[in-house]
Amino acid sequence: MSEVKSQSLVKPGKTLFISSLLYMVLGCAAFFYKEVFLIWILAGAGLIPFIIIDFALLFFLGDRLRVEREIPFSFAQGENVRVKLLIYRTEKPLLPSSIQLYDLHPDTMSTSAFPVKINFPFRGKSEFLVFEYSLFPNERGPWFFSGAEFLFSSFLRFWQLRVTHEVISRGRTYPDFKQLARGTELKGKPEKGEIRQIRKRGQGLEFESLRDYQEGDSIRLIDWRATSRNRRMDGRLKLVVRNYQEEQDQQILFIIDSGYRLPDHHFDSALEAMLMLSYIALKHGDAAAAASFGAHDIWIPPRKGMKAYTGLMNGLYNLHSEPVPSSPFLALENALSRLHRRSFIVLISNFREEDDKSLSWILPHIKKRHLLLLVSFCEDEAVKLAFTDTVSHNKTDGEVLETAAAFAYLENRRRLYSKWEHSGLLVLETSPKQISADLINKYLKIKKSGKL
């Protein structure tokens, strides 16, 4: 363990402040009344020794504690974390009359545990206390604890000594990976934003095994050669069907826009959906890769196995969007230069009418070798404006024009998405709440359809 440094700072206490204020009032009275002047002189002469002695005792008894912190290296965003502080005292017999503790946690986390008062029994032997508190990480990314702080009060409360111990702790706050790991267990109706597993016997791409016919199996799955060699005891044929599994060893690439097109709440939802779908894709035996464009240019090459999920988490956990320009065209062009086999590309951004011209050249090149899914978020504000009551008498001409402009904007987006879909691309327009479920359902449907 590295040496823990400490810094001390003495500052006036409440008693000194109140005493000084009263002494100043008494001095004002002594200026006008001679009888009070002698009392003012004697009060000052009697108060100063107590202030000096109290300061000396505090400085002598002050830094007699040390602290250690036990904290996990990795957090999940939005889940409470237990932090343990071990507070040790030295062999010296006395401590200041009042001790308060502060743990200097990062601004990205919140807690209501501090300040906390510490009470040690006044004995000569070494002792330690254990203090545990709950910490709530609000944001993803790396975090850093600069230290822990003790605030000692002198016996007469004239002074306070602030001692800061540089107890360094570092770590990372990830998205809620426990919820991501539970993604494959969710079931429900897709129209309610829930995930559904698509299960159809015999609709996969890779032959797995032969089995006996079961009620509900499609006649197209019957293997007539195997059936002709398989007879019952009574001489009748026993139907045998082919059992298929989903094709594995495929490749999926996630590309997320970290520029101005995705505000923070949209970006966080998109990132969580990416990680959840990558977890499911890796579970299905596919290889997963990730990239970012806009504010951050990141490329995580495709890998298989659940170890790849750790690499994706470490590469994306601290990613945030920023108000900078971003180009889906350049992102796809960069992906094409790096992909060496057919892949399922998921591009998450907020596509608009002006993207049609910039993407019109590269989309045909992508269709030849890859399967592209363009994921875009609904424009909630435009929807609210477009579907308000335009015949209301309370609306001004400007508000009516805003409503018409919003409706035209949404209609142009709809036509753009329809044009892309007719050309053979996949388009998914969703909301931040439903993107995870919609994206996973789309992936499972594509896996079953054999488009990859």
* CATH code, domain carrying 373: 3.40.50.410
Nearest to 356 by CA among 407, 413, 411, 314: 413
Shared domain check, 424 and 279: yes
pLDDT for 245 equals: 52
Q: Which two tokens stand for residue 396?
A: 């001004």
Q: Are 312 and 300 within 8 A, CB to CB?
A: yes
Q: Which two tokens stand for residue 14?
A: 């409440």
Shared domain check, 188 and 156: no
Shared domain check, 437 and 322: yes
Shared domain check, 432 and 304: yes
Shared domain check, 139 and 259: no
Distance (Å, rounded) from C-alpha 93 to C-alpha 126?
9
Distance (Å, rounded) from C-alpha 251 to C-alpha 254?
10
What are the Cα distances from residue 48, in Å, to 2, 27, 54, 248, 249? 42, 15, 10, 84, 82
Q: Are 451 and 371 within 8 A, CB to CB?
A: yes
**CATH number assigned to the domain comprising residue 101:** 2.60.40.10
Sheet holding 169-174, edge to edge: 74-76, 169-174, 141-145
**Across the strands, what pairs with 211?**
241
Q: How many domains does the chain have?
A: 3
pLDDT for 134 equals: 94
Distance (Å, rounded) from C-alpha 208 to C-alpha 246?
9
Q: Is the pTM of this model over 0.85?
A: no
Shared domain check, 225 and 131: no
Q: Are 90 and 123 within 8 A, CB to CB?
A: no
Nearest to 188 by CA among 452, 413, 445, 441: 441
pLDDT for 299 equals: 95
Nearest to 448 by CA among 285, 277, 244, 278: 244
Shared domain check, 259 and 125: no
Shared domain check, 237 and 164: no
- Token look-up 């896996």 returns 447
Q: Which two tokens stand for residue 292?
A: 């970012």
Shared domain check, 139 and 46: yes
- Domain range enclosing 222: 206-245
Shared domain check, 269 and 231: no
Shared domain check, 130 and 22: yes
Distance (Å, rounded) from C-alpha 96 to C-alpha 158?
12
Distance (Å, rounded) from C-alpha 325 to C-alpha 295?
8
pLDDT in tens, the chain (452 residues): 334 567 788 888 888 899 889 989 988 988 888 888 888 888 888 899 999 998 888 878 777 788 999 999 998 888 899 999 998 887 777 778 788 999 999 999 999 888 888 876 545 445 678 899 999 999 999 999 989 999 988 888 898 889 899 999 999 999 876 655 554 444 444 334 444 444 443 344 455 567 777 766 677 777 777 777 777 666 677 787 776 555 556 899 999 999 999 998 899 999 999 999 999 999 888 999 999 999 999 999 999 988 999 999 999 999 999 999 999 999 999 999 999 889 999 999 998 888 888 888 888 888 888 999 999 998 766 666 666 654 555 667 777 777 777 777 778 788 888 888 888 889 999 998 899 989 999 998 888 777 76
Shared domain check, 155 and 192: no
Beta strands in 127-237 (DSSP E): 128-137, 141-145, 147-153, 159-165, 169-174, 206-212
Could you say which DSSP state residue 185 is in? Answer: G
